[in-house]
Chains A and B, each alone.
Chain A
Amino acid sequence: MSGRYPRIAMVVGSAVVALVLPRVIYSVLALDILLWALFAMSVDLLVGYVGLLSFGHAAFWGGAAYVAALLARDLRLAFPLAALAGVLAAMALAVPVGYLSIRRRGIYFAMVTLAFAQMLFYLVNELRGVTGGENGVQGVPRLLWGVSVTRPGDFYYAALPLVLLGYLAVYRVTRSPFGHVLAAIRDNEARAQALGYPTPRYKLVAFVLSAGIAGLAGSLYAIGHGFASLDLLHWTTSGTVVLMVVLGGTGTLWGSLVGAAIVLFLRDQLSSVTEASDAVTGAILIAIVLGFRRGLWRSLAALPARAVRRLART
């Protein structure tokens, strides 16, 4: 129970940070950080809690983004409904993709998911009549049942409850009876089977839930920016989100937030300073990954305890 109060303090502290964030950095970047963090958590749910490294999560982030953007623009759906549709579409897509990919582990699982994501990329590019091809879906309105959320600052606060709901959903899943079985499968799948757990079914449910979370983040991202483009489905998007998870530390959830914040903040700051911002970002990220092998979050979280020990010694 010793961890309870620090945890509550962190949740309250984070909520305060989330509320004042658009006053510190501009609100588009603030929302980007929160949404990429949610996307990263969906990947961490698989990597950190089931031991499955998906390299095709752009399919769910981008696929949901297209569905939500099209429904918001063509049917003029309020953004929470469009996002819900995006979530459901991502989950529906995840059923066959998950069914076929969870039969493999490790690098093979990563490659199968990547292959499916690439198929979706080309499919969306080909269906120009619906998706706009290389132009994407443009002019997506931000609608909320008559309430004006057109300004980015307003949309940030309108979307915040849904984002927090997404965080809570991931947190609950990892700390449910289901989450315990996932941890068992990650540590030793054969033994979990010997206990009578049909492990493929568990992995599939985790995969579909993860896709739904990624879909929520992607839907809000498309509506927030007012467009859905092929970038969202590109394999580099899958790579970026994996990078965020590894940077922050797998199996922590908080790490996803730290990883997303660092990657996006670096890109944003450096792109105004240098042409070679990606190269500089890359160099900094390599330094962080080598310097903090267990991920930034675990290393940072261990700091207070270490400081106390050092004080006690002197």
Chain B
Amino acid sequence: MIITRFKEDFYNVVRKTHVLMITSNDVDSLCTTAILSHLFTCDDVMFTVVPVDGYEELNDALRARQDYTSSIVLINCAVTCPILEILNVPPNSTVFVVDSRRPLNHFNVFEANQIRILVNEAERSSLGIPNLDDVIAKDEDSESDDDDDEYSEGSNDGGGRRNIIDRVTRRAVRKENKRLWESQKNKILWQYYEYNWHSTSTAVQMLELAAELDRASAELMWYAAIGVSSQYTDRLIPIEGYTDTCVTRMKPFITKFSPKNAAKSDDLLRISFGKELPLALYTHWNLYNAMAVNEYFACKTKNWTQKGEKNMKELLAKMGITLVETSRKFESIESKQKKELIEILDKEMGIGFASFTVHLGYSGQVNAADIARAAALRIESPHNVEPMDRFQAALRIIRAAISGPKDQQVILVDAFERSYQKMLKMIWHLVGTAINQSEIVSTGAFYLMSSQRAISAEVAESRHFLLNFTHFLLKAFACSKRGRSGKPLIVTFPLPQSEKQPDGWHVVTGIMPLATAFEDNTFKSIIGRAFERAAKDQQNMQLSFDSFDNSIITMRATDRARFFDKLQSILETSGI
């Protein structure tokens, strides 16, 4: 069942019971959990948080609580699959689903007793949910039983020959109707499930709930800002979708919590919203490095080739930026000069990115997108670290940006400089080698990049890394020769062996072609659906759909060839 009144139908109901929040391990869910925890703490509601990585852990968490009554809140997990069928939902509990993944599974939508899906009123009509009668069969068993009885009685009668014929034709008609209905149903469902995409960040939705309860604060707005930024930095929504959410949904909070002429004070938390460069981490790095690993500049100068560095310097000269400026730490450049540099680069990139920046007193400022990136890397991998440890570590990063003490700042420096910059360089390096060594093969319906080099566990299992790498690679691949923007790209990486992960498994993901025109400000993708279809009817293939994103799957190395053959035929028939 879909509910749209968050306060009456969700918050006021769950606060009366013990609340179990099961949250997927990504930054948006983390921010959502942080906002909800804050609300529950204000109201003295008892709650439990269990972070999970995939369906298996989600099921374990539910199994342990089989005999107890509580409200279960699923945050960004499992709305796309029939929850009651595949999960062990405790029979006495109600499940509330807060999720940005779309489409919603129709069984969840039509289940009236145990499942409540929270959807914004405005979005509801655009979901295109099929009619109940069109997709779920009515219970007709009893009717046909009656019919059989009548039939046997009728045959005893002797004179009922006509009746019998009548009945036979009626049954044939009904069968035919049923067949028609069935094929119609399949068609409707096919259309409904064809694409997967992400809707508004759940953290923003929860911020709106907080506002409805009169509990919105600058701190909660910061969480929501990170939530929506993470959707952009994780490549779940395009820049248009991000800007749209910021402008329409975050607007009231921006005017409330970041007034233009806010007073400066030592311990005052200010959040400002304004133009920002889409360069990752440049304020905590030097410009040259940040530009070299950036998708836009790397593709423009092709800096993975031998001529690359020369191109890069030429570009800098054209823009009028000196080498000294780019090699200095950005923070230490004079503020006037900084503004000039930002203006030049903004003009050059022309992406039109705006972002949230937090200022705490007079100390440094941190950008929400950078925090979202650093937290994403920390929370999503590696999987052999307990989910709870990763959850708390990422939470510390998010909180460090808005808390004063110096030792908290150390956490940020560590997250930015030790981990994230390393990962950016690694992505760039991997893209460079893949292009230089022509590792991408064109296989008819899609491009395939099947890496044999093992990469460190710290990044291999992270969705943030996989999607950023895949997008970067496709862009780099397309810009090195014309006519390469019409096919999707599928990427596989070997997973490092660990306790939970037996040897010889690969992670597979894919993205839509570069030239796809996306509607409704979302990255609508058919890849996940194609993966599901390719895996169907293949009992002897060892693969797992444990991740909540169906476009990220793991499989045995030996099954890859067969899987790609199947995928090939599926993508050919669907014609993109």
Partners in one complex: no
What residues of chain B have their CB less than 8 Å away from a CB belonging to chain A? none
